Amino acid sequence: MSGKFSLTVSAHGAFGGLATLRLGDQPPRRFTFQEASIVARALEAVALGVSPERHIYMSPIASDHDFDARVEAEGLVVACEGHPDVALSWPEATELAHALKAAAGE
Domain encompassing residue 52: 5-103
Count the neighbouring beta carbons within 10 Å of the beta carbon of residue 37. 18
Rounded to two decimals, the pTM is 0.90
Contact 95, 101 (CB under 8 A): no
- What pLDDT tens digit does each residue of the chain (106 aa) get? 567 899 999 887 766 889 999 999 999 999 999 999 999 999 999 999 999 999 999 998 888 899 999 999 999 999 999 999 999 999 999 999 999 999 998 8
Contact 38, 19 (CB under 8 A): no
Q: How many domains does the chain have?
A: 1
